[in-house]
Chains A and B, each alone.
Chain A
Amino acid sequence: MNAPVKNYRTYEETIHRNGRIWMIAAIIITQGVPLAISLYFGVWPPLGKLIAGLLPTMMVFWPIAIIEVITYTPMLGSGGSYLGFVTGNLSNLKVPAAISAMQQAGVEPSTKEGEIISTLAIGASSLVTNVVLVTGVLMMSYLLPILESPALKPAFANLLPALFGALGVVFISRNWKISIAPLVLMIGLFVAIPTLPVGILIPAGAIVSIGVARILYTRKLV
């Protein structure tokens, strides 16, 4: 009875070693994309402006990354995490794919069997996304003149209100109590000064809504 346990330990050891190697390679390759652009085209954005453009979203998304890692890693297992966090689209695709595969196979997350089924599911899911994207991008590359046509310009120019109108409905309906204060503040600010840069206001909006959420939470109102 000792053999399978020993084997699993071996797999567990290898999965962390291999997983880390793949993850480091993925970090190098993903950061290699902008590096390659800068090197090949000889364009280097001024550091100060780049940091100014990067900070606002980083302040929101880096804390979210911590929470995602802690929440999803036990669900996805080791192999699933090393693969899923590279291929991305976790909450909208990889996590539900892994969970439904484990349910159908009748295995639990964070067991040996769950680890295997989850890794297989995330692997298959990543391959399918890749095939769909490659096919779609190839097809769309023939449609580029249409995408660049003047009639579609206003459509692309309004990408942001299109995303945030829909996203607003999702988050407001999920938790309207914590959304009122930041919304009122931001709408007021922008109506008063329409040219304000969004970047500076993202952290302000986040601080206000986290503060309100904490107050409501400690008073058990949410």
Chain B
Amino acid sequence: MADIRNSPFMFALGAFIALFVTVQSLVFIINAWKEGTRLGISAATMKKALIGSSVFSVVPSIAILLAVLTLAGALGLPLPWIRLSVVGAITYELPAAETAAQAFGTSIKNSITDPTVFSAIAWAMSLGSVFAMILITLFTKRIQSGIHKAQLKDTAWAGLLISAMFMGLISAFLGSSLAGGLISILTLLSSAAVMALFGLLIKKAGLAKLENFAMPVSMIAGMTVAALYSLASKGGSL
């Protein structure tokens, strides 16, 4: 069967999702603007919130675009685009895609050209991230009507719990990457080194603006090393 990853149908699905998100955003902005006017918030203040947030969002959005690009090799363009337009974030989508691929005896190290595996990955990405949306539907009203009651009693432990769960996931993937051969190790170390450099620049040199680019640039640096190393080891010259 033909490769469906970049088929027109997938792009059409992506366009539909983009349209949905646009309409929902516009409806929420219009309703909030009307209510803000009723509450006596000045149009200037509200305009400033809209423009300020738009400017603020440009750079992180480019970072999200780069994340789409990193997934495009395995999954094509439309599916990562869809997933990162709604709900998703690269830290969830990539592990979800890989564990689903592994259940079918393959890996997103390869291009996912098998339609069944591709559909399984799409299902896993979508089902895995639906839970927060269900919770929001059911509980936002309750949480908002009793904000102080609902806030976590022990925020320090909650933060630690999130870190610990992520650490479990990260350690499993780090272990498997370290066992993945020389190129894999080189990639991991390069990306870690670039990330550490970003950390130093952000903390010591106060370049907080770099924060958004730290993750995608580190990933792309690591992936570039992988491409260059394999090119060099094949005896090819640059």
Cα distance A16–B41 when bound, in Å? 21
A129-B61, A185-B171, A213-B164 known; A62-B28 Cβ under 8 A:
no
In the A-B complex, the 7 residue pairs with the smallest Cβ-Cβ separation, listed nearest first, are A156-B73, A206-B168, A53-B103, A186-B175, A162-B222, A45-B120, A205-B168
Counting contact residues on chain A (CB < 8 A from B), the size range is 35 or more
Would B191 and A166 count as touching, CB distance under 8 A? yes
Cα distance A148–B110 when bound, in Å? 11
Please, what's the 1-or-0 string for B154-176, where 1 marks a CB less than 8 Å from any CB in chain A?
01111011111111111111111
Interface of B is mostly: helix
Would A60 and B169 count as touching, CB distance under 8 A? yes
Q: List 25 A-B contacts (CB under 8 A).
A: A15-B31, A22-B27, A44-B119, A45-B120, A54-B128, A70-B143, A71-B152, A78-B144, A79-B31, A81-B140, A96-B56, A104-B52, A116-B41, A124-B57, A125-B53, A129-B60, A129-B61, A133-B61, A158-B187, A160-B98, A163-B219, A165-B218, A167-B215, A178-B167, A206-B169
Q: At the interface, yes or no: B201 with Cβ under 8 Å from chain A?
A: no
- Which residues of chain A from 154 to 201 have any CB-CB distance to chain B below 8 Å in the complex? 154-171, 173-175, 178-179, 182-183, 185-191, 194, 196-199, 201
Distance of A17 from chain B, by nearest CB (Å): 9
Told that A121-B50, A130-B21 touch, could you supply 19 new A-B pairs with CB distance under 8 A? A7-B39, A23-B133, A33-B122, A44-B119, A61-B129, A65-B131, A73-B150, A78-B141, A89-B88, A104-B52, A124-B51, A137-B65, A137-B78, A152-B73, A170-B199, A205-B167, A206-B168, A209-B168, A210-B161
Report which of B63, B163, B177 forms a contact with A165, defined as CB distance below 8 A.
B177
- Which residues of chain B from 187 to 238 have any CB-CB distance to chain A below 8 Å in the complex? 187-192, 194-196, 199, 212, 214-215, 218-224, 226-227, 229-231
Cα distance A151–B230 when bound, in Å? 8
Would B223 and A162 count as touching, CB distance under 8 A? yes
Distance of B185 from chain A, by nearest CB (Å): 7
Q: Report which residue of B78, B98, B174, B180 has the largest number of chain A beta carbons within 10 angstroms of its beta carbon.
A: B174
Would A161 and B188 count as touching, CB distance under 8 A? yes
A18-B31, A100-B56 known; A161-B191 Cβ under 8 A:
yes
Select from chain B the residue with minimum beta-carbon distance to A162. Answer: B222
Interface of A is mostly: helix
Tally inter-chain residue pairs, CB-CB below 8 A. 583
Would B169 and A140 count as touching, CB distance under 8 A? no
Would A11 and B131 count as touching, CB distance under 8 A? no
Would A57 and B71 count as touching, CB distance under 8 A? no
Which residues on B sit within 8 Å (CB–CB) of A182? 167-168, 171-172
Select from chain B the residue with minimum beta-carbon distance to A200. Answer: B172
A168-B192, A209-B164 known; A120-B29 Cβ under 8 A:
yes
Distance of B132 from chain A, by nearest CB (Å): 4
Would B87 and A201 count as touching, CB distance under 8 A? no
Cα distance A82–B24 when bound, in Å? 10
Report which of A82, A91, A148, A205 forms a contact with B140, defined as CB distance below 8 A.
A82
Would A212 and B164 count as touching, CB distance under 8 A? yes
